[in-house]
Structure 1
């Protein structure tokens, strides 16, 4: 976790993409940057579902405006099946409330720590995986 905290923003995004590759997601790719419309990383799972990650390495919890932006662009603009926001330092309560209403998936430090210790993304988030 200290390594993730010490990374640059783009390094953190690359690390999130690398974790997807480790778990067998197809074509994990960092796409973040200016004008990314809320997408830092994309990948596909075994069922060809599109994952969109927004990676926030902020010092403070992520506010609801960021969750609303992800919600407003991930599905309608990018066609995401699973919009996921990763926040190294958590989310404000209004951000959590917004996510409960609009259904993007929020992942913070405890879940990210499990990911770093070899847990598959879907096991951490309680998402059903395709049978092998």
Structure 2
């Protein structure tokens, strides 16, 4: 699978998950982001895809964080890799000022088959039980 094919696979999965306005941008001049999309709840997402057999290091995470801060402020960042992140890369991601989701090799398969999701799961409000009194 080429890098472009990997990006397309990720974009297709996002569409299946209910994202709208999914745009594959991964070309020269993409601003450091391969895909942009809007989650079902309206939150904008910016995705960086790394089809690597090797590890993804801290410099790649820092570059992506720079793109998020400068060009894609307000977007939830997602770094998707077919490889693994180094410990330093995970540290960079955990210290980020804005949300950054990491999908590494181990989580990638679960996400691609729909076992996990990129969007936060909404907790339904508690149901009223007969006999409960409303505060007031």
What TM-score results when the alignment is normalised by the length of structure 1? 0.83
Three-state SS of the structure 2 residue aligned to 1:35 is coil
**Larger helix proportion of the pair:** 1
CA displacement at 1:46 relative to structure 2: 2.0
Backbone CA RMSD of aligned residues:
1.8
Kindly indicate whether residue 84 of structure 2 is the aligned counterpart of residue 84 of structure 1: no
Kindly indicate whether residue 36 of structure 2 is the aligned counterpart of residue 32 of structure 1: no
Q: Among residues 43, 63, 71, which one is paired with 2:65 in the alignment?
A: 71
Whether the 8 Å CA contact 1:30–1:40 is kept in 2: the answer is: yes
Aligned pairs, how many?
Answer: 122
Any stretches of 5+ residues in structure 2 without a counterpart?
A: 125-136
Kindly indicate whether residue 114 of structure 2 is the aligned counterpart of residue 118 of structure 1: yes
CA displacement at 1:120 relative to structure 2: 4.5
Any stretches of 5+ residues in structure 1 without a counterpart?
A: 1-6
2:121 aligns with 128
Kindly indicate whether residue 42 of structure 2 is the aligned counterpart of residue 48 of structure 1: yes
Bigger radius of gyration among the two: 2
What TM-score results when the alignment is normalised by the length of structure 2? 0.81
Three-state SS of the structure 2 residue aligned to 1:122 is coil
